[in-house]
Amino acid sequence: MTIELGIDTFGDVTSREDGTLLSHAQTVRNVVEEGVLADEVGLDAIGIGEHHRDDFAVSSPEMVLAAIAARTTRIQLASAVTVLSSDDPVRVHERFATLDALSSGRAEVVLGRGSFTESFPLFGFRLEDYEALFEEKLEVFSRLRTSQPVTWRGTHVQNLDQVTVYPPVENGMLRAWVAVGGSPQSVVRAAQHDLPLMLAIIGGPVPRFAPFADLYRRALDQLGRGPQPVGYHSYGHVAETDEQAREEIYPHYVEQVARIGRERGWSPPSRASFEHEAEHGAMAVGSPETVARKIAEGVRALGADRFDLKVSTGRLPHEKIMASIELYGTKVAPMVRDMLA
């Protein structure tokens, strides 16, 4: 079995070792350094999130990915995710086609509706149109990706009359995924558009998501489509020992979940809930051996082709993130590949 192993970093505004918050600008520069290191230690991909709020630094993933492209040679460069619902599918295709040209074919766009809603009012969209916006824009993007010129008449996307967008993708089509959080309708939609599926797992055991991977494969088969990759991502952190890894990530994970929970009405997390997630959930936290076993188990449960470790968690210091990436690339990744060989 071939498995791609990558990282996701959402550009969480991080801190120094003494707890002092870094600026948004320094966090952006640090994300570039994390991408360069991921390439150096042999990881297959890096995904960068798009957010429009004060606790995240990156609002334009493709700009940061372009900076990483200029300093790397082999790593795939992906968004995690591009919030297509509040963007223009024509501009998204143009931006990632440009990134693809800069990186000699390494660009990937992971399309989703996003886990936050700040971008909707910021760019003049109504939350009441949440589902319809994504549906129509994904349709337009898929057409631009597979067959140009494109003519389109719709409700949420400007009319297109025999439009060809530039730059053209140099070799074939732009690589694209659809990210879903666990909705059967979203899973089937990805299959209908013949796009790879990325499962965003932020809590609970990985096998709980196996029915979605199975549904996706059945839908592809019923639609007469060939197989497509399935990937997933989850929180994680690697250190020399299990105890060290948990102690390093715990306060930042709890702070982040509590902050978002206050906005969404969740119960605040506890040490016990964190430990349960680390032991039984998708979270891959621990020594290289522990993390490798957790990833291999999850990949087998889903029949996955890709796993991305979300290495940035709240204010976790950049130095700790860099150490985690190095262990992930040099120790965890070889062990996972051996376990799955």
Q: Are 33 and 79 in contact (CB under 8 A)?
A: no
Whether 119 has a pLDDT exceeding 90, the answer reads yes
Paired residues of 239 in beta bridges? none
Report the chain's terminal Cα–Cα distance, integer Å.
6
Q: pLDDT category, 1, cuts 50, 70, 90?
A: low
pLDDT given for residue 16 in this prediction: 86
CA 252 to chain centre: 19
* Whole-angstrom distance, CA of residue 45 vs CA of residue 194: 21
Question: How far from the centroid of its chain's Cα atoms is residue 80's Cα?
Answer: 3
Residue 180: which of 134, 128, 125 has the closest Cα? 134
For residue 41, give both structure tokens: 């230690």
Percent of the chain with pLDDT over 90: 91
So what's the pLDDT on residue 19? 79
Q: What is the per-residue pLDDT across 193-206, written as a single tens digit (0 to 9) for each?
A: 999 999 999 889 99
- Tens of pLDDT, residue by residue over 228-265, are 999 999 999 999 999 999 999 999 999 998 888 898 88
How would residue 115 be classed by pLDDT, with cut points 50, 70 and 90? confident
Q: Which residue has the higher pLDDT, 19 or 324?
A: 324
Would you say 206 and 232 are in contact if contact means Cβ atoms under 8 Å apart?
Answer: yes
pLDDT at residue 304, as a whole number: 98
